[in-house]
Structure 1
Amino acid sequence: MNAVLPDVSRAERAAQLGQLEWVGMQGIDLPVTLAERGCPPTLHARADVQVDLPAAHVKGIHMSRLYRLVDSLGEGQALSPAGLHQLLQAMADSHQDCASGNARLSLDFDLLTRRPALVSEHLAGWKAYPVSLEATLIAGTFSLQAQVGVTYSSTCPCSAALSRQLVEHAFAEAFVGQQGLSVEDVAAWLREHATLATPHSQRSVAQVRVQLGEADELQLLALVERIEQALGTPVQTAVKRADEQAFAALNGSNLMFVEDAARRIQHALAGHYSGPRVHVRHLESLHPHDASAWAGPLVPPA
């Protein structure tokens, strides 16, 4: 058949007139390339793409044009703010017949990298960090936000203090009236009773969003590592007993409330990233609910 195929989007007018803020597609699978040290160059991503539809009479946009444009992200060129800006401009330009001028794109993927064990040599494992990139071009202004997720361990300072008090009282009762305790006696008691009470700790999650400029590089792993260094207790991959012991020591010397965690990240990002937003959740082992804190950019003191 050589007949011209019907194009309802162009040939028909919308039954009800009205401007639409965004129209497009969600959940497009595609490979993306990253220039991040220690990470696989190609990762599986899901993309959402939309343009605005201000022409009230236009029945529909051209989905295939958007798809072909976003599909170009899978051609092997590393993601960059400048490249995403160009893509959004091309998306808007491709819909001039719909009077579109705005475009947006979101990409969700896992940043995958190998992490070494704390102590054991030649021991490492893969660790994934969820990443979301949200790029918009609205009224000619480009904006790009990057969000990363970091999982860490948090030990409650209050629970630690209460546990130490119980151990202290038990020790005093065990040796009441005894004089001249030897180091061996104390060590033997601690070996058996030091865990009479233990503080609660839990897996915790930090979600951090920053603003990137067009001239910036993504450097997502550098952002992750700055967050992990601020927290001090990122969860581990492959471990042996020596690594587990080292992790226990990190937790014991690094007690934190959810407020502490949010402030640590806030201070670590200040001056390095634009408009950082922090959300931390401690998935409580004491409670059936979570503890949460949010933090925005630091406000200089008056």
Structure 2
Amino acid sequence: MNSRLPALPDVASNEPAAIPSRLDWVGMQGIDLPLRPAADSPFSLAASVDAEVDLPDPAIKGIHMSRLYRLLDHMAAPQVLTPAAIGDVLRAMVASHADCQSSRARLAIRFALLRQRAALITPELHGWKTYPVTINALWQDDQMHLQLGVAVLYSSTCPCSAALARQVVQEKFNADFAAQQQVSRQDAAAWLDRHATFATPHSQRSLAEAQVSLAGDALNFDIVSLIDLVENTLATPVQTAVKRADEQAFARLNGANLMYVEDAARKVQHALQAHFPQSAVNVRHLESLHPHDAIAQVSSFKPSVG
């Protein structure tokens, strides 16, 4: 019995392009791949990967998709995802398409990093939170350009709304004690217990997306440190498991860190600039006052990856 497969047609290699022209990028998007983002990761994560090369030869009909697909296994779990592993894959992507005259390659990697977070006050109380992560890598002119991005949810309380609420509470206090020349501490405390929330400022869940450039020879991505930097800068990251003491501590943090969307973007960008040569911030407040969102963006990036 003849086990040899018959010759199969190879249209991409044997037929010219019907409309000869160069293409900036050709490849695949949304490839499923298991990744291990750090050496201390106890499990692999499900990632989505885009893999593309340029097609500068106008006569070539198509690239070799399967070559790119198979190369991604070289950075898949169980090995740790490192800048070096990504660089090796990018170089191999270009080399695998030498017959297409390709000289550039890029990867876009997306996954959700799952981290355990402690409650603010209650001992031994923890919960789990996911952080969307993106890694963009470009191979061009024989060098790699890397960008790392994270997204962090936090709470934002409007400074204007807080000032307006304080004025309403003050007016209520003055009206209630208008007939008295002096108010005892006990009476004031009792009044506050009943009426301090006569008006309350609006606050909302908010999203900060931070993107930074990394050196091509970086040893690792240190994703958790970037997340911690953003959360510590904003000071009001959303919480997981809470008891009343934790909820009270969270309310105190919100009161001590009133912020417009502009304030949040500036704070995060200032913190990033102290650690990274290039960075970008995109902040969005999912307004509770309005049916629309408030946004602020700032970037020190030169032309973006790809």
Question: What TM-score range do you get, normalising by the shorter chain?
Answer: over 0.9
Pairwise mapping of residues 252-271 of structure 1 onto structure 2 (< 5 A)?
252-271=255-274
Select 1:193's aligned residue among 192, 195, 206: 195
Q: How has the CA–CA distance of structure 1 residues 126 and 92 changed in structure 2, closer, same or farther, with 3 Å as cutoff?
A: same
Secondary structure at 1:261 match in 2:
helix
1:108/1:131 contact within 8 Å kept: yes
1:243 correspondence with 2:246: yes
The alpha carbon displacement at 1:116 in A equals 0.5
Match of 1:79 in 2: 81
The alpha carbon displacement at 1:245 in A equals 0.9
Match of 1:157 in 2: 159
Question: Residues of 1 paired with 2:259 and 2:203: CA distance?
Answer: 10
The alpha carbon displacement at 1:286 in A equals 0.9
Mark the runs of 5 or more structure 2 residues left unpaired by the alignment: 302-306
Pairwise mapping of residues 123-202 of structure 1 onto structure 2 (< 5 A)?
123-202=125-204
The alpha carbon displacement at 1:41 in A equals 3.9
Aligned residues: 297
Match of 1:120 in 2: 122
Question: Residues of 2 paired with 1:75 and 1:245: CA distance?
Answer: 41
Q: Percent identity?
A: 54
1:27 correspondence with 2:44: no
Query: Over aligned residue pairs, what C-alpha RMSD do you find?
Result: 1.5
The alpha carbon displacement at 1:188 in A equals 1.3
Match of 1:69 in 2: 71
Greater mean deviation of Cα atoms: 219-228 or 66-75: 66-75
Secondary structure at 1:284 match in 2:
coil
Secondary structure at 1:10 match in 2:
helix
Match of 1:18 in 2: 21
Q: How has the CA–CA distance of structure 1 residues 280 and 75 changed in structure 2, closer, same or farther, with 3 Å as cutoff?
A: closer
The alpha carbon displacement at 1:40 in A equals 4.1
Question: Residues of 2 paired with 1:43 and 1:31: CA distance?
Answer: 5
Question: Residues of 2 paired with 1:289 and 1:40: CA distance?
Answer: 40
Question: Residues of 1 paired with 2:137 and 2:226: CA distance?
Answer: 18
Question: Residues of 2 paired with 1:68 and 1:147: CA distance?
Answer: 26
Match of 1:49 in 2: 51
1:4 correspondence with 2:18: no
The alpha carbon displacement at 1:141 in A equals 2.9
Mark the runs of 5 or more structure 1 residues left unpaired by the alignment: none
Secondary structure at 2:75 match in 1:
helix
The alpha carbon displacement at 1:296 in A equals 2.6
Normalising by structure 1, report the TM-score.
0.94
The alpha carbon displacement at 1:180 in A equals 4.2
Question: Residues of 1 paired with 2:5 and 2:139: CA distance?
Answer: 39
